[in-house]
Amino acid sequence: MLRPYVAMRLLLISILCAATCAGQSDAKISARCRLPSTREVFDVSLVRTSGYLLSARGRTVVETHINDNGDTRTLQRSLLDMTYKDGQPMRTDFVIETWESGDGRTLRFDVSNTQTGYGTEKHSGSATLAADGGGKVNFTSSDKPFSLPRGTMLPVAFSHAILDAARKGQDLDNRIVFQGGARNALVTASVRIGARETSPHARPKDPDGLLKGAAVWPVLMSYYSGGSDLPASEVATELYTNGTLGSLSFVYPQFTVKATLASIARLPSAHKCGSVR
């Protein structure tokens, strides 16, 4: 069993840029999906602790590729070095690769999480959704298949809903999202979105000017489990008007870890996908 809270799931970062391709007409997809493929680099550090976690430092890299059909391939790797109150240092190497169809109905995923002293946990498979959001997750790894309830959203569709709500000045309540992975990747999320601001807090290296002149909305995403009225975790960030997320704070009951957006850059356009195609 892996220690809790150490798999830094930043998948939402990368697929927000693809959100404008979800649920659009073919003509709009063709225009929107000329957005550049990108690489984002985040520096991770511990900013608050009750003593459970003594130190945390690392880096996360997210690459996103979108093809002319609106299909999105995302690759994230996070390396984190941590020390807990028992004094044991630990390194976590978390990798997730996904491919999501432009219609938001199919997600293929390959997840690997390796922790010092705990081995490697892997989950590979696919999720398919019907029109009502109900569906099923099947695995090529040893996990048992499970059903998805009606109303489930895949990451790109969820991101599209966030962008749409921000533009309308609204919040999102109680959305069921399957992020790709084991059963615990099925979460209930609520999103609070603040008023649009013209001065983002993040100042990443941006050689291609991808964020130049973009305003932001402050966003707080809350994740719930087990029917509790209190969130198990929250993510505070800024959502740029072009769909990119800025730096993120991952807030847990016992500590807060910040992923600071250090750089964003354009990648050569590539319509081929990797092992999860």
Counted residue by residue, the chain has a size of 277
Q: What mean pLDDT comes out for the span 227-245?
A: 88
CB 210 within 8 A of CB 266: yes
Give me Rg for the CA atoms of the chain.
Answer: 18
Coil vs helix vs strand at 177:
strand
Domain ranges for the chain, please list them.
11-267
Inter-CA distances, 274 with 41, 109, 160, Å: 20, 11, 24
Share of the chain above pLDDT 70, in %: 84
pLDDT (tens digit per residue) in 165-211: 999 999 999 999 999 999 989 999 999 999 999 988 888 999 999 99
Lowest model confidence (mean pLDDT) among 85-89, 90-94, 238-242, 245-249:
85-89
* pLDDT grade for 156, boundaries at 50, 70 and 90: confident
